[in-house]
Amino acid sequence: MTPPTWPLVPAQMQQWVEDVCLTSVRVGRGEINRWLPEELARLHNQFERVHPFIDGNGRTGRLVMNLVLVRSGYPPVIFFKRQRSAYLAAMQRADGGDYGALGELIARAMYDNLNRFIVPNIAGPARMVPLTALADEEFTLIALRRAAQRGRLDAVQGPDGLWRSSRKAVDAYRVARHQRRRRNTASSE
């Protein structure tokens, strides 16, 4: 992908802003024929193709995409470092007009961030949420899943195969785990 020469950047950015505004209005009215994440992928790719800055275009483009998402009532997306190669490959496909892979990355990031950050903050301590929403620095998703499978964490596995638990249950597991650890340390002395 070769960005436009610098004299063309202001006009192309103005056109991009107008396209974003028109798309936002059409999304609000339900007039978009394309799947929303693919439409976001198209807008994001167009911004990156204009390449308005010397450095930081990717970060700025992702921030602007989140602004569009939040203003449209959707959760923001976060692409993690481990997703970089998939993101770059999807951007390369989008350069050729295929927005499907980038749209899928955006949709998955929206779903993951909804479950990880937003649902737990509005759900309350006793509401059952996917374990991904309860994972933190102390308990990874794998650790919580193992605890649920072993019956140490109060959790249920739904028909979709996802384990669900509550913040209250994780807090109880944390306390019980520390008590078990203290008992095991005391008995080994």
Residues annotated as catalytic are: 51
Burial 118-128 (b: 16+ CB within 10 A, else e): ebbeeeeeeee
Task: Please report, for residues 19, 56, 100, 105, 106, the alpha-carbon distance to residue 77 in angstroms, rounded to integers and kept in the order given.
Answer: 21, 17, 17, 9, 7
Cα atoms found within 13 Å of the Cα of residue 11, Cβ hemisphere only: 5
DSSP label of 117:
I
- Select from 115, 107, 89 the least CA-distant residue to 35: 107
What is the radius of gyration, based on Cα positions, of the chain?
A: 22
